[in-house]
Amino acid sequence: MNTNSLTVELGDRSYPIVIGAGHLAGGYDLTEHMPGDSCLVVTNETVAPLYFDKLRSCLGDTRSTHIELPDGEAFKTISTANAIIDELVARRAGRDTTVVALGGGVVGDIAGFASACYMRGVAFIQVPTTLLAQVDSSVGGKTGVNHEGGKNLIGAFHQPNIVLIDTDTLSTLPDREFRAGLAEIIKYGAIVDIEFFAWLEENMSALLDRTPDALAHAIRRSCELKAEVVAEDEKEAGKRALLNFGHTFGHAIENTMGYGDWLHGEAVAAGMVMAAKMSDIAVSEQERLTALVGAAGLPAVPPKAGSERLKEAMQLDKKVKANQLRLILLRSLGDAFVTADYSDEMLGEVLQSADS
């Protein structure tokens, strides 16, 4: 068993991220991270048949029930979060109950938001089963649901008690979703760690082959980098915003296309290339990013959604401050920053790649 653990340092709300193979099959003990003896497992119709029985072996004598959500970003809504809360009420779950999310980012975000709101916050455990959730959404305490007007517009900061990452779950992940997860891994290299970026350039084919050692390293390094940023800036007053590299463009793509048509990671991949093209960096660095995105089988250009529609969708971004949209750009590959100081012409030019 390839076990590995790191800690997200948040004072008395610090929590471990446990990464390795065989954790679910081996019945990793989650009960010591639960305040009481009851839990509600939130999963979806795709993940449940694959991993729910295994997860039960991690829950000991805990009284557990579960709820299966429909699969897909389209269901990441306030009404799905309500359905989870209805279930907690129906079960008369007390304040010492625990919500366990078993699934990808959508399951984790909705379940986390429901656990943040139920009785003003009950315990929460993340068991992410997609690459995207393992390297990004399960770590850092951002929870939420989408609004017709924009992605993740409704949410809460609510840190889990533990994140349990079983890399074995990736064996059942469809190829397209696996690649979407690689986008966020590439992001970490691009914004804060040029060495990791270079490692990814060398090891992309091993990752695409899902070689266990390569996967374990990529996941661990991604979690480490995210944990460092979150520990420094939990509520996104500063540095944490860097994690949104590519996301302002990406969210606009998702919002314009309708959630689910483009996967989040695909939209972020195209968004990162767009952000790099807005950045005053060497053309060779822009090309390295474009090449790595391409090597991961991800799109480097946005869909033909129309530059005007994309621009409008970008205005709803949470990074808009005093009506001025801020972007995450690169000083160089591996060194990102937040800025509102960019030319509208340049933005218009980059968005034109969305015109047919």
Q: Is 142 one of the annotated active-site residues of the chain?
A: yes
Active-site pick, 87, 234, 236, 285: 236
112/303 with CB nearer a second copy: 112
CA distances from 318 to 97, 148, 190 (A): 32, 15, 22
Helix (H) or strand (E) holding 222: helix 212-232
6/316 with CB nearer a second copy: 316
65/82 with CB nearer a second copy: 82
Residues 6+ apart with CB under 8 A from 237: none
Active-site pick, 44, 161, 179, 184: 184
156/206 with CB nearer a second copy: 156
Sheet with strand 123-128: strands edge to edge: 4-8, 15-20, 162-166, 123-128, 98-103, 38-44, 63-69
CB of 96 to a second copy, least distance (A): 5
Active-site pick, 33, 251, 288, 326: 251
176/235 with CB nearer a second copy: 235
300: left (phi over 0), alpha (psi -120 to 50) or beta: alpha
Which residues lie near a second copy (CB under 8 A)? 36-37, 78, 82, 85-86, 89-90, 92, 94-96, 116-121, 142, 144, 147-150, 152-157, 235, 315-316, 318-323
Q: Is 251 one of the annotated active-site residues of the chain?
A: yes
CA distances from 250 to 46, 150, 264, 265 (A): 25, 12, 7, 8
CB of 141 to a second copy, least distance (A): 10
Q: How many CB atoms lie within 10 A of CB 321?
A: 10
State phi, psi for 46 to the nearest 5 degrees: -85, -45
C-alpha angle with apex 266: 264 to 267, nearest 5 degrees? 65
CB of 59 to a second copy, least distance (A): 16
CB of 315 to a second copy, least distance (A): 6
CB of 113 to a second copy, least distance (A): 8
Q: Give catalytic residues, as residue numbers.
A: 120, 142, 184, 226, 236, 240, 244, 247, 251, 264
